Amino acid sequence: MRQNPPSTRPAPTTAASYPGIPFPPGDRPKSSPARRVVALVGGLPFARALAPRDLEKLLGVLREDSDFLGGVARLLRFAQDVRFDPSEPLNSGVMGYAAEHRQRLTELDATRLPREELDTRLKREWVDYSARTRRELDAVVAALGDEPLRPLLQGFVQSVWAVATRLTDAGHDPRPGP
């Protein structure tokens, strides 16, 4: 597989790409829509059940300005960070704290941050962000009307929600690593 030279590689994900945390204004980096479409279509267990016309419609929905897959990706990423884990030097809680207090991430020791406060705030942000994202995803699905694709995407959204719920309920294992 060919790698891009360093000058053409995409910029690494920054703190601004995490939802629900009050970061300074700026553009959020986005992954390529083509990559997201390939990831979804390749991962759909029902992809073989779609008629060519329905698969074409699915690709059309995913290419539109709905940011359907971007919403799914951000939701699942944030679900992993809903519980503050001081053993992770870089997580949503640390990044949000650094942004609010105008500190550099390299200046912070995650183990000295107000754990309960950050945990509570992350959970509150999760409730707001996940509800907003669910409404956005449901709106994209509802816009399909009576298309045969609609129940398939509804099932996909429900599955994503089940995974996100399990991630947020799991929390972090407080035991130190090896």
Domain ranges of the chain: 51-85+116-170
Q: What is the pLDDT of residue 142?
A: 92
pLDDT of residue 68: 86
Q: Which two tokens stand for residue 143?
A: 């816009």
Rg (CA), the chain: 19
Looking at residue 132, its pLDDT comes to: 94
pLDDT at 14: 41
Tell if the pTM clears 0.75, that is, is over it: no
Q: 143-162 in b/e burial notation, b at 16+ Cβ within 10 A?
A: ebeebebbebbeebbeebbe
Q: Which long-range contacts (CB under 8 A, 24 or more apart) does 39-47 make?
A: 39/69, 40/69, 40/72, 40/156, 44/152, 44/156, 46/152, 46/155
Tokens of 21: 């945390």
pLDDT in the model for residue 167 = 87
Cβ pair 79, 125 in contact under 8 A: no
pLDDT tens digit at each of 178 positions of the chain: 444 444 443 443 344 444 444 444 443 444 455 555 555 555 555 455 677 788 788 887 777 767 888 888 889 888 888 888 878 777 888 888 888 889 998 888 888 888 888 888 899 999 999 999 999 999 989 988 888 888 888 988 999 999 998 888 886 555 454 4
Instruction: Give me the torsion for CA of 108, 114, 116, 118, rounded to 10°.
Output: -50
DSSP state of 64: S
Q: List Cα–Cα distances, 128 to 66, 106, 121, 132, 167, in angstroms.
A: 19, 29, 11, 6, 16
